[in-house]
């Protein structure tokens, strides 16, 4: 089954069973469980003819499954129940173009309808209600690709009624009555202006102004059902985002929750009143704090029953039945049906049962010091039996305004099983750790943001986790950019790099952003560099790996989706052409039916098979036989097939 490459990494795990790529990255048996608001139905995602579709069954007879959708080419990325439990709604794009349309499947008849039948249109859900069951508010950019007009969508008839023609607003906030209450737009300073809406009229002057420094850590968190309380996650006048309740009649605010280490994150709300019952904070791991005693009692009971981490993924209107996800950390994810009244817990499904009993490894949490004293919350997984330095893969998250977290991680498990240590670092600019941490990354692409990754590598070497001459860098989107930076700005540090849909030229990246991102483009300019000023344009050039391609001396593998609307194919084409122009080898894998990442399992498995061979060639880990995975995918290899063993 395997063709191990001779090397330290392969030898280290030689006696550890190899986990097949299909078990890791193939379709789950089930995922995405939900319970209908009325508690009568269970729904989930499962493969049909190799493509993830939506299924459902009666709550009282969960084995009586019925397939509700017929996606054939791409997995359905997201679905949800209509508020009245009479229909399932889902969104789908074409070949990764991210022009998502909204579809409805009637539960009683199985009839399917496209509710937004427009070309080159991306739907947004603007508002939904707990009391109005037959309507939602949607945003559609079919009139102007830059702006989303707000429509009322009748879920029963499919009728669309224009609520607001939008020519200047980046977003809106609604209440439970589906009334537009706020309109938001970016201001000249790169922050956000929030204008109140009264009787459909938008105030000329903003009532709330969020400075650029607070713009990624301050936002409204929704109204109570009666509209009398507006919740905020707000970092203004402080560092981490705290949870506040504002009395809408008086504007008086009450501090509900804060944490000096990290922003307040998720909340649980009363299913009928919308009042917050519990809140969470995630620094290294997630902690829940309960306000409501009933919720606390239920969460405490679940904690006694379940190993590892867990959370509530779906609730009925009466809040008597929950679906609970459970991450055992060294076993595949599970979903349970929890009857709160009976205190009974029943296994609904295991996402990937083929991983039961597999040699999965625990994830470690670490705080890594950066050179300027900033603390970088990080996660490390080591191969089985590691007792000294091992080859390491530094996996860099995308965004960059996102974060890595703790828990079962397929990439970590895959690479650890192949003989590598795996390190994920929340570098400056990552979200969730307060605005100082985010803003420390402003205008620091390829600079201090990259220094954090370098410091993390040095830490791993100094701690005895990593072999200095066998460290790879890999990531998608911003992580792909970080890979290119690693191989151009610090060309001797990494043994090799894997860039997945990463930009190589920040100037052309900003020129080709999707039109619906344009209302927020000032944010990119302030955090990356402003191409409309000479100094900003020069900064973007200085931070673009394309201009340093001649410095690459380590092997590079690039993966790209041809339909990517965020990081165009031209970003990968440019760096490949530049390297070839300098006579530098590069391997380029292109998927004609993918966008920003590889969502078809056969494509993801094929690319990861290539990554395995690439890492084995350069770091000495083991590989699973390539088999027929390339033929099952749409992978094209325009350049560098000869540089990877097995291709």
Quick check: is 599 catalytic? no
Q: What pLDDT score does 4 carry? A: 34
> Is the pLDDT score of 289 beyond 50?
yes
Q: CA-to-CA distance for 590 and 608, rounded, in angstroms?
A: 13
Q: What is the pLDDT of residues 252-285, one digit of tens each?
A: 999 999 999 999 999 999 999 999 999 999 999 9
Q: CA-to-CA distance for 470 and 390, rounded, in angstroms?
A: 8
Q: What pLDDT score does 646 carry? A: 77
For the beta carbon of residue 86, count every other beta carbon within 10 angstroms.
17
Q: Please name the residue that has the structure tokens 């307040």.
A: 264
> Is the pLDDT score of 6 beyond 70?
no
Q: What is the pLDDT of residues 505-543, one digit of tens each?
A: 999 999 998 988 888 889 999 999 999 999 999 999 999
Q: What's the pLDDT band for 643 if we cut at 50, 70, 90?
A: confident
Per the structure, the count of domains in the chain is: 1
Q: How far is CA 1 from the centre of its chain?
A: 33
Q: What is the pLDDT of residues 154-168, one digit of tens each?
A: 999 999 999 999 999
Pick the catalytic residue from 43, 596, 599, 633: 596
Q: What pLDDT score does 552 carry? A: 98
The answer to whether 99 and 120 have CB atoms below 8 angstroms apart is yes
Q: What is the pLDDT of residues 78-98, one digit of tens each?
A: 999 999 999 999 999 999 999
Q: CA-to-CA distance for 516 and 469, rounded, in angstroms?
A: 44
Beta-sheet strands, E only, within 228-271: 229-234, 242-247, 253-257, 264-269
Quick check: is 500 in a domain? yes
Q: What pLDDT score does 56 carry? A: 98
Q: CA-to-CA distance for 289 and 299, rounded, in angstroms?
A: 10
Average pLDDT over residues 383-397: 96
> Is the pLDDT score of 10 beyond 90?
no
Q: What pLDDT score does 644 carry? A: 82
Residue 297 contacts by C-beta under 8 Å, 6 or more apart in sequence?
none
CATH classification at residue 386: 3.40.50.1820
> Is the pLDDT score of 8 beyond 80?
no
Average pLDDT over residues 100-125: 96
Q: What is the pLDDT of residues 335-366, one digit of tens each?
A: 999 999 999 999 999 999 999 999 999 999 99
Mean pLDDT of the chain: 96
Q: What is the pLDDT of residues 433-469, one digit of tens each?
A: 999 999 999 999 999 999 999 999 999 999 999 999 9
Q: CA-to-CA distance for 27 and 49, rounded, in angstroms?
A: 11
Average pLDDT over residues 218-245: 98
Quick check: is 163 in a domain? no
Average pLDDT over residues 18-35: 97
Range(s) of the domain holding residue 419: 8-22+363-505+544-643
Quick check: is 149 in a domain? no
Q: From the CA atom positions of the chain, what is the Rg in Å?
A: 25
Long-range contacts of 150-157 (CB under 8 A, 24+ apart): 150/126, 150/180, 152/178, 153/102, 153/115, 155/82, 155/83, 155/84, 155/86, 155/87, 155/89, 155/104, 155/115, 156/86
Quick check: is 544 catalytic? no
Q: What's the pLDDT band for 5 if we cut at 50, 70, 90?
A: very low
Q: CA-to-CA distance for 27 and 513, rounded, in angstroms?
A: 31
Quick check: is 499 in a domain? yes
Quick check: is 123 in a domain? no
Helices (H), 274-331: 293-305
**Distance (Å) of CA 51 to CA 30, 45, 71, 74, 514:** 12, 10, 7, 6, 27
For the beta carbon of residue 81, count every other beta carbon within 10 angstroms.
20
Q: What pLDDT score does 520 carry? A: 86
Strand partners, 135: 154
Q: What pLDDT score does 9 carry? A: 85
> Is the pLDDT score of 564 beyond 60?
yes
Q: What pLDDT score does 647 carry? A: 79
- Peptide linkage before 400 cis (omega within 30 of 0): yes
Quick check: is 352 in a domain? no
Quick check: is 369 in a domain? yes
Quick check: is 525 catalytic? no
Pick the catalytic residue from 213, 259, 564, 593: 564
Q: Is 551 helix (H, G, I), strand (E, B) or coil?
A: helix
Which helix (H) or strand (E) segment holds residue 489: the answer is: helix 478-489
Q: CA-to-CA distance for 20 and 18, rounded, in angstroms?
A: 6
**Distance (Å) of CA 110 to CA 57, 79, 91:** 13, 15, 17
Pick the catalytic residue from 477, 544, 570, 633: 477
Quick check: is 519 in a domain? no
Residue 631 contacts by C-beta under 8 Å, 6 or more apart in sequence?
none
Residue 136 contacts by C-beta under 8 Å, 6 or more apart in sequence?
83, 125, 126, 127, 128, 129, 152, 153, 155, 178
Average pLDDT over residues 48-73: 96
Q: What pLDDT score does 18 carry? A: 97
Share of the chain above pLDDT 90, in %: 94
| Eight-state DSSP code of residue 624 | B
């Amino acid at each position: 089954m395997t063709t191990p490459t001779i090397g330290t990494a392969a030898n280290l795990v030689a006696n550890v069973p190899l986990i097949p790529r299909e078990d890791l990255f193939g379709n789950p048996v089930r995922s995405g469980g939900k319970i209908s608001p009325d508690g009568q139905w269970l729904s989930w995602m499962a493969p049909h003819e190799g493509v993830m579709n939506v299924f459902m069954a009666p709550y009282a007879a969960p084995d009586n499954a019925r397939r509700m959708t017929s996606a054939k080419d791409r997995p359905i990325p997201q679905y949800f129940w209509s508020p009245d439990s009479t229909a399932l709604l889902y969104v789908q794009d074409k070949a990764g173009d991210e022009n998502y349309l909204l579809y409805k499947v009637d539960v009683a008849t199985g009839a399917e309808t496209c509710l937004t039948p427009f070309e080159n249109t991306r739907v947004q859900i603007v508002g939904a209600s707990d009391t109005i069951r037959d309507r939602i508010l949607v945003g559609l950019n079919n009139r102007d690709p830059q702006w989303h007009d707000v429509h009322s969508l009748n879920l029963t008839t499919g009728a669309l009624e224009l609520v607001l023609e939008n020519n200047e607003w980046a977003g809106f906030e609604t209440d439970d009555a589906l009334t537009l209450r706020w309109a938001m737009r970016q201001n000249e300073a790169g922050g956000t202006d929030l204008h109140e809406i009264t009787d459909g009229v938008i105030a000329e002057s903003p009532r709330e102004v969020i400075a650029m420094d607070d713009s990624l850590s301050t936002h409204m968190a929704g109204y109570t059902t009666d509209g009398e309380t507006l919740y905020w996650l707000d970092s203004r006048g402080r560092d981490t985002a705290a949870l506040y309740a504002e009395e809408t009649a008086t504007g008086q605010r009450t501090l509900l929750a804060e944490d000096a280490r990290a922003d307040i994150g998720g909340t649980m709300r009363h299913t009928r009143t919308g009042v917050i019952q519990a809140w969470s904070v995630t620094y290294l791991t997630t902690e829940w704090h309960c306000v409501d005693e009933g919720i606390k009692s239920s969460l405490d009971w679940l904690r006694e029953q379940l190993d590892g981490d867990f959370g509530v993924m779906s609730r009925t209107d009466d809040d008597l039945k929950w679906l609970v996800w459970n991450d055992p950390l060294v076993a595949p994810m599970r979903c349970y049906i929890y009857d709160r009244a009976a205190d009974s817990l029943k296994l609904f499904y295991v996402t990937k049962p083929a991983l039961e009993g597999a040699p999965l490894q625990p994830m470690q949490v670490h705080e890594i010091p950066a050179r300027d004293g900033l603390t970088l919350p990080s996660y490390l997984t080591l191969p089985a039996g590691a007792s000294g330095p091992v080859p390491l893969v530094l996996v860099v998250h995308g965004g960059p305004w996102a974060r890595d977290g703790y828990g079962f991680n397929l990439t970590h498990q895959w690479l650890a099983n192949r003989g590598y240590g795996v390190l994920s670092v929340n570098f400056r600019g990552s979200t969730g750790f307060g605005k100082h941490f985010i803003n420390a990354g402003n205008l620091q692409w390829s600079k201090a943001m990259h220094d954090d990754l370098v410091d993390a590598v040095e830490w791993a070497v100094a701690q005895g986790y990593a072999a200095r001459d066998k460290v790879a860098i890999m990531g998608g989107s911003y992580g792909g950019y970080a890979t290119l930076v690693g191989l151009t700005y610090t060309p001797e540090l990494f043994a090799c790099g894997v860039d997945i849909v990463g930009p190589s030229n920040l100037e052309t990246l900003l020129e080709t952003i999707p039109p619906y991102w344009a209302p927020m483009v000032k944010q990119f300019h302030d955090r990356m560099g402003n191409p409309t000023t000479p100094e900003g344009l020069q900064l973007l050039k200085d931070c673009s790996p394309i201009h340093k391609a001649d410095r690459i001396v380590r092997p590079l593998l690039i993966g790209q989706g041809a339909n990517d609307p965020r990081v165009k194919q031209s970003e990968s084409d440019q760096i490949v052409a530049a390297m070839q122009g300098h006579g530098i080898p590069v391997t380029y894998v292109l998927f004609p039916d993918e966008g920003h990442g590889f969502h078809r399992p056969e494509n993801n498995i094929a690319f990861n098979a290539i990554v395995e061979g690439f890492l084995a060639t350069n770091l000495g880990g083991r590989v699973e036989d390539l088999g027929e995975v390339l033929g099952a995918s749409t992978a094209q290899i325009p350049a560098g097939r000869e540089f990877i063993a097995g291709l």
